[in-house]
Amino acid sequence: MTALSAAAGADLEGRVLRGFRRRRLVALSVPVLLLLYLAYVFVAFDVMGLSQRARLDNAAILVRDSWSHKVHVTQDLRNAAVSVSIEGNRRSTYREGAWPGWVRPLPDGGTLVELPDGHAVTFAADGAIRFAIPDWGVLEARVVEGEVVTNLPDPPPSWANASPSRLAVTLPAGRLTVTAGRAEVFRYFPGWEMFFFHIDSPYHGRPAAEILWGGRIDPARPNLAGAWRDFWTNPIWRHADVAWAIWETVLMAFLGTVGAAAVALPLAFAAARGVNPLGPVRFLVRRVFDFVRGVDALIWTIALSRAFGPGPLTGTLAILVTDSGTFGKLFSEALENMDRKQVEGVASTGASPAMQWRWGVIPQVFPVLASQVLYLFESNVRSSTIIGAIVGGGIGLLLTQAIQTQGDWEKVTYYIVLIVVMVFALDAASGWLRARIIHGAPDRAARPRRPAA
Amino acid sequence: MAQTAVPPVEAYLALVRRRRLMGAILLALFVVALWSGFQTVNARSAGGFWSGLPQILDFPRNLVLEAWERRDRMPGHMARAVPALIETINIAAVATLAGALMGMGLALLSTRGLAPWPGGVALFRRVMDVLRAVPEIVIALILIFVLGGGPVPAMIAIALHTAGALGKLFSEVAEAADLRPVEGLASTGANWGQRMALAVMPQVAPNWLSYGLLRFEINIRASAILGFVGAGGIGYELRNAMTFGQGRFDVAAAIFLVLFLTIVVVDQLSDRLRRRLTHGAAA
């Protein structure tokens, strides 16, 4: 008896230890395999080469541009004319006499450009360019016979870069470049340039209090109406177009989702066991759903854009087609999972089949279906941004255009902020609606098996 | 007692009538919104809905006809698409792995009861919300500007989005985890990392893995789409095939087919794996 159990105990011990060893081996091999895979991808993606291709200067431009702008003060060295413009754009040049306070004409005909922390650049009347740098001294540059001559020591300080053809000074307070043709000072300011009013608008640069409560700035119009009009038609930021694009994106998602639900609902009945007794039909409809879901949204988008051309219509239809497969599957599952007892209960009162549907089936499945529609709507608001970039509609189009010009990073930032706000707002609205519709039905149970993308 | 003369049945019927009227008005408003929305979208598009509808089958028909005409070349085209396909799958796989790792961290940091700094829960939730809300294409295009074209920008973009999406789902699972093992470990002096690895992970691993697989399916589609806007992989090949002159439809058809088959196979495999994970191995 005791011998037997001792033998069994030894056997058991052996088995347990072997089991431990095996599990340890598996537990160790998984990370090792993952590491091997990552090493392979590291080579396949050429990550080493990436460090050479990466443009960190681009990243610096992007970051600085996304939260600040610069004002150029330019002197044409051939005729000594000075102009002040935002981002060096000729269309946003300050009018003569309306320069910002830190650019001042001097009595002798020169121009003084004040920079932060006591720095200042003078375009002197005698043609010299003097950069006063508080803890260094005064840097003087002249153009003599087509060459830039400076008083910089040799070698120059790390913040300056001098050659006979070009002088470049980069300091935190601002930048100065001098070439044979012109001298240019850049001063940086936080914020997006001309976000509210274009420089040509009379309201540009006025404090908000003055616009709201001050006297008429533009005698022809009341302040509020005029300011709103100039803001809305701002030619740089195009607020009206952006608002319309956001609306278009939401509309694509809304129409696509609701249309997909409308298409999928009758088909889901045909695909649900317990509703449709014809097995072959069920099988066929299910395979159609699988096919539609399997063909990617990308493929549908391309195929549909051939028929409907660029624009939001194609985006809407792409969402509609892709999601009708998803809805068909989800709806038919919901119909199959419904409780027969409620239908039988209604039938026991002598109700006709139509009334059994009305009072037995619909109250059960409606909250589930509605909440699935809302979940996919939330997810589609995000995808319609991407689809919009492909088919040319909505905020996705504006965004990709702004990114591809590679200079409008402040607009890119603005659009991203708008997209995030749009997604948050619609998530909140749809969450509120879902809670109201399925009041009573638990939220989790109604969730489709596809997580919000 | 004496003031309400309305019998309860009448009151009930009045209530029903009012609710039906409200329902009908809401439905009518909804239909009007749909219709006017459709009109707006239709007007803003280059081609109209009704004029495009008859042409809807033209492209698929041309595609199939051309592919059928040159069916002898199809296997070759499909084989040539495989390296790009592997790149697309690699992008999705690495992005899912990296995103799931980040998501795990974010989920544990933002689950009440598990978070090491309870004050940071709300902050990490907002971080996940923002990661989810920014579409992949935005991050991908910006990174292409900085890093140059290729698979890495797409990978990072999808990984960030995945971190937000999985973090939320992971945290919902972790919220339901039993806290007693955590407390038990804490009583032995285990630190936070040990408590999470030994008490929480075994409970949540099956569900987390299942969500991760589902995300992998989604990410394959996302990586194909990002390829189309210039991030490499099969989407890029597809775009080249479509925009090459009139479009080389036989190549496009081969790529469509390869992509379709991949998605179906991955869906099926992950479906089976997930069922095993959530319902336990059929032992």
CA dihedral B185, B190, B194, B199 (to 10 degrees): 10
Q: Is the dihedral of CA B261, B264, B266, B269 positive or negative?
A: negative
Contact B191, B199 (CB under 8 A): no
One domain, residues B274 and B150: yes
Within 8 A of A453 by CB-CB distance, chain B residues are: 165, 218, 222
Task: Report the C-alpha gap between B77 and A60 in whole angstroms.
Answer: 42
- Which residue matches tokens 């394959």? B220
Task: Report the C-alpha gap between A65 and A191 in whole angstroms.
Answer: 9
Q: Which residues in chain B land under pLDDT 50?
A: 1, 282-283
Provide the residue-wise pLDDT of chain A in tens; the chain has 453 residues: 455 566 777 788 888 899 888 888 888 888 899 899 989 988 888 888 887 877 887 888 788 888 888 888 999 888 888 889 888 777 788 887 788 888 988 888 889 999 988 899 999 888 889 999 988 889 999 888 888 888 888 888 888 888 888 898 888 888 899 998 889 999 988 888 778 888 778 888 788 888 888 778 888 888 888 888 888 888 888 899 999 999 999 999 999 999 999 999 889 888 887 777 788 888 888 888 888 887 878 888 888 888 888 888 999 999 999 999 999 988 888 888 887 888 888 888 888 888 888 888 888 888 888 888 998 998 899 889 888 888 888 898 998 888 888 777 888 889 989 998 998 899 889 888 888 876 644 444 444 444 444
Interface of B with A in 111-150 (CB under 8 A): 129-130, 132-138, 141-142, 145-148, 150
One domain, residues B77 and B35: no
Answer whether B263 sits within 8 Å of A451, measured CB to CB: no
pLDDT at residue A255, as a whole number: 93
Answer whether B260 sits within 8 Å of A299, measured CB to CB: yes
Within 8 A of B141 by CB-CB distance, chain A residues are: 399-400, 403-404
Answer whether B148 sits within 8 Å of A53, measured CB to CB: yes
Per DSSP, helices labelled H in A45-120 are: 47-53, 56-67
One domain, residues B73 and B161: yes
Task: Find residue B124's DSSP bridge partners.
Answer: none
Q: Which fold does the domain A239-446 belong to in CATH?
A: MetI-like fold (1.10.3720)
Structural domain count of chain B: 2
Tell me whether B224 touches chain A (CB under 8 Å). Answer: yes
Task: Report the C-alpha gap between A323 and A339 in whole angstroms.
Answer: 26
Sequence letter at residue B205: A
Sequence letter at residue B283: A
Report residue A161 as tokens: 């870069």
Answer whether A294 sits within 8 Å of B37, measured CB to CB: no
Contacts of A134 (CB under 8 A, 6+ apart): A117, A118, A119
Please write the tens of the pLDDT for every residue from A203-232: 887 888 888 887 788 888 888 888 888 888
User: Which helix H or strand E contains B9, and what residues bound it?
Assistant: helix B8-44
Domain membership flag for residue B3? no
Tell me whether A59 touches chain B (CB under 8 Å). Answer: yes
pLDDT at residue B117, as a whole number: 86
Within 8 A of A59 by CB-CB distance, chain B residues are: 146
**Phi, psi angle pair for A290, to nearest 5°:** -60, -40
Domain membership flag for residue B89? yes
B5: closest CA of chain A, how far (Å): 31
Q: What share of chain A is helix, strand, coil (3-state, %, to 5)?
A: 55, 15, 30
pLDDT at residue B97, as a whole number: 94
Range(s) of the domain holding residue B47: 8-54
Report residue A340 as tokens: 């027969």
Q: Identify the domain boundary among B54, B76, B92.
A: B54
Sequence letter at residue A392: G
Which residue does chain A place closest to B217, by CA atoms?
A: A450
Contact A251, A287 (CB under 8 A): no
pLDDT at residue B239, as a whole number: 84
Of B45, B97, B214, the CB nearest to A313: B45
Please report, for residues A25, A184, A241, A377, A381, the alpha-carbon distance to residue A387 in angstroms, rounded to integers and kept in the order given: 46, 43, 19, 14, 10
CATH of residue B257: 1.10.3720.10
One domain, residues B34 and B86: no
Tell me whether B278 touches chain A (CB under 8 Å). Answer: no
A450: closest CA of chain B, how far (Å): 7
A85: closest CA of chain B, how far (Å): 27
Within 8 A of B137 by CB-CB distance, chain A residues are: 385-386, 389, 396, 399-400
One domain, residues B235 and B172: yes
One domain, residues B118 and B246: yes
B73: closest CA of chain A, how far (Å): 21
Which residue does chain A place closest to B89, by CA atoms?
A: A41
One domain, residues B47 and B154: no
Report residue A77 as tokens: 């060295």
Tell me whether B215 touches chain A (CB under 8 Å). Answer: yes
One domain, residues B47 and B65: no
One domain, residues B218 and B258: yes
One domain, residues B93 and B40: no
Please report, for residues A114, A193, A199, B100, the alpha-carbon distance to residue A205 in angstroms, rounded to integers and kept in the order given: 19, 11, 8, 48
- Which residue matches tokens 């000072």? A185
One domain, residues B29 and B146: no
pLDDT at residue A446, as a whole number: 44
Interface of A with B in 260-299 (CB under 8 A): 290, 293-299
Domain membership flag for residue B2? no
One domain, residues B67 and B20: no
Report residue B18 as tokens: 């009012």
Domain membership flag for residue B151? yes
Sequence letter at residue B181: P
- Which residue matches tokens 């408003």? B29
Within 8 A of B176 by CB-CB distance, chain A residues are: none
pLDDT at residue A450, as a whole number: 46
